[in-house]
Structure 1
Amino acid sequence: MTATCKTGTLKWYSNSSLSTEVTSTTVSPAATTTYYAVCVTNQCKSAGTPAVITVTPGVQKPTVNSPLAICLNDSTTLSANCAAGTLKWFSDSTLTIELSNTKISPQSDTTLCNM
């Protein structure tokens, strides 16, 4: 978190009553949290200015119907379910080669990735 004071020393607080000081400007709240920036000169505090840190939930992994076992020269259709978003399949672990078709016919043991 960053802020500036024209005069005095910047302090951060985790409550609007300015009674709980935050000693680090690096925070990792689990939920959206409001912090308050205050300028302090001698024993005097300015009014607190709110700074809202908005936490966005991460994307959940899909539920994959695997492992799939098929015989050589057979094919299968990949399937999975996403709670939200769009399901995409990749043929590499770095998620750079997207599959355009979910019907596959691998010729050896194959690991496919999804997101």
Structure 2
Amino acid sequence: MFLEGKLEALDFITLISFLTYSNKTGILEISINHNEGLIFIYNGEVYNVYYNKRWGKDALFEIVLYEYIDFCFIEGNYKVERKIWDRSEKIILELLKDYDERKALELCSVNV
């Protein structure tokens, strides 16, 4: 399977959800303002993430900070050290919570 496109932050979380719930294995390559990143998914579990010189969940949560994300998912089994041990469902819920909290703060700052 090969997917490619442009996303907004919330759609990015939806894409991660789709790949995990479909039990996909492969690399999700992302590009944000010419900075490249990698999300390694194995049997629907987010195994590791690299972005902006960071590895693991910190890198994933940084990616969601950006509004527009280019991506390309390439299915295949790639060797990578597992740095993320939380279940993907938990990670997705944390990403959604973080996204909602940031949007609420943005609304508050606009209304001030």
TM over 0.5: no
Query: Which of these two proteins has the greater Rg computed from alpha carbons?
Result: 1
RCO higher in structure (CA 8 A, sep ≥6):
2
Query: Which has the larger helix fraction?
Result: 2
Structure with higher strand content? 2
Q: If the TM-score is normalised by the length of the shorter chain, which range does it land in?
A: under 0.3
**TM-score when normalising by structure 1:** 0.21
